């Protein structure tokens, strides 16, 4: 688990990144930082169901958070669709 100072840096970095999501009609909700230093978020609004959400998450938000706060190991979207559990009919 991260200390209070690191948690504050993470939350501040999320607020700096937020306008990029807002510009496309999306937003995010901070959930937690787990014991493996993974930052858990929910993407909401237009970002919640966007096909580019993973790209935004990994190449945008995760990259930025790791630059600002090297303690972050990964950013995880808790509300991501799990397409492996869906039945597809052809």
Q: What is the pLDDT of residues 30-79, one digit of tens each?
A: 999 999 999 999 999 998 888 888 888 999 999 999 999 999 999 999 98
SS3 26: strand
In this model, does residue 89 exceed pLDDT 70?
Answer: no
pLDDT at 87 (0 to 100): 53
DSSP label of 65: H
pLDDT at 86 (0 to 100): 47
SS3 64: helix
Q: Distance between CA 61 and CA 89 in Å, rounded?
A: 34
The pLDDT confidence band at residue 80, using thresholds 50, 70 and 90, is confident
Dihedral of the CA atoms 24, 26, 32, 34 (nearest 10)?
-50
- Lowest mean per-residue pLDDT among 18-27, 71-80, 81-90: 81-90
pLDDT at 45 (0 to 100): 92
DSSP label of 11: H
In this model, does residue 90 exceed pLDDT 60?
Answer: no
Nearest residue to 21 via CA among 7, 50, 40: 50
């Amino acid at each position: 688990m991260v200390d209070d100072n690191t948690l504050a840096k993470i939350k501040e970095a999320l607020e700096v990144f937020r306008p990029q999501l807002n510009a496309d009609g999306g937003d995010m909700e901070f959930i937690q930082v787990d014991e493996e230093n993974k930052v858990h978020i929910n993407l909401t609004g237009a970002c919640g169901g966007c096909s580019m959400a993973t790209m935004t998450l990994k190449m945008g938000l995760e990259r930025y958070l790791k630059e600002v706060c090297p303690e972050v190991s990964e950013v995880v979207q808790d509300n991501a669709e799990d397409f492996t559990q869906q039945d597809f009919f052809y």
